[in-house]
Amino acid sequence: MHEFKRLLRDAAGALGLSLTEAMCERFFLYYRLLIEWNEKFNLTSLVEPRDVAIKHFIDSLTCLLVHSPAYGARVVDIGTGAGFPGLPVKIARGDLHFTLIESTGKKVAFLRHVAGALGMAYMDLACGRAEVLARHDRYRASFDLALARAVAPLPVLLEYALPFLKMGGHFIALKGPAVQEELPASSNALNVLGGNLKVVKTIFLPLTGDERKLVLIEKTEPTPEKFPRRPGIPQRRPL
């Protein structure tokens, strides 16, 4: 446990992020639950403490390096899976009001268990497709920040994410180096959906040196009502 917490704190420190002892304890409990549930459900292929600490937890936190949401901001994580990047960000920024969206019921059951075990406040878990939930009044155009990691190519992700954002809200896609090829293909989606590419920030993960690209997009125009299209259409026919 001490080794895990030291690793996390040192890696966060190398990126200029600081984690308290209480946050590190929550990360360790999350790690234990992830490994325990992973024996029954397929939640992650990474199980070694160092891999989970760096490639899941620290990787998730990198989004805070490209944009720091205001105190109490509303944040949605689309296709969160076992909670990435949303849950690590929520551990580091307890003030944020989070909605985690995931279409697979067993993953949502896991997230409910973790959120309960960690005693998380301001945590909403929504089981369903982004294309459907983005049409609910409760969610549409109501978030300051949207996040997504490893869910879909950028043009598809834009159709999932931009309808959730308020005007002036931001979307961060946590990507690898291959996003360079997705960017030119995203200009039509940005135009149609009301987004503006602000920056692509390159990060190297501590210890592993893995390269990451954080794509920051601002919503500058309202998204037309007809988006997102029906479930599966954004993926099959990207804008």
Q: Was 130 annotated as part of a binding site? A: yes
Q: Give me the amino acid identity at 165.
A: L
Question: What's the gap between Cα 9 and its chain centre?
Answer: 20
Report yes or no: 131 and 235 within 8 Å, Cβ to Cβ.
no
Q: Was 131 annotated as part of a binding site? A: yes
Taking the least distance from each CB to ligand SAM, the nearer of 195 and 234 is 234
Q: Was 103 annotated as part of a binding site? A: yes
Question: Shortest approach of ligand SAM to residue 132 CB, angstroms?
Answer: 8
Report DSSP state, residue 222. Answer: P
By the 10 Å C-beta count (0-12 exposed, 13-18 middle, 19+ buried), 225 is classed as exposed
Question: Shortest approach of ligand SAM to residue 21 CB, angstroms?
Answer: 26
Chain residues in the site for ligand SAM (CB under 6 A): 79-81, 84, 101-104, 107, 129-131, 149-151, 160
Taking the least distance from each CB to ligand SAM, the nearer of 12 and 130 is 130
Taking the least distance from each CB to ligand SAM, the nearer of 78 and 190 is 78
Number of Cβ within 10 Å of residue 2's Cβ equals 8
Taking the least distance from each CB to ligand SAM, the nearer of 102 and 182 is 102
Q: Was 181 annotated as part of a binding site? A: no
Question: Shortest approach of ligand SAM to residue 40 CB, angstroms?
Answer: 16
| Peptide linkage before 155 cis (omega within 30 of 0) | no
Report yes or no: 60 and 88 within 8 Å, Cβ to Cβ.
yes
Q: Was 79 annotated as part of a binding site? A: yes
Tell me whether strands 211-219 and 165-175 are parallel, antiparallel or unpaired.
antiparallel
Binding-site residue numbers for S-adenosyl-L-methionine are 79, 84, 102-104, 130-131, 149
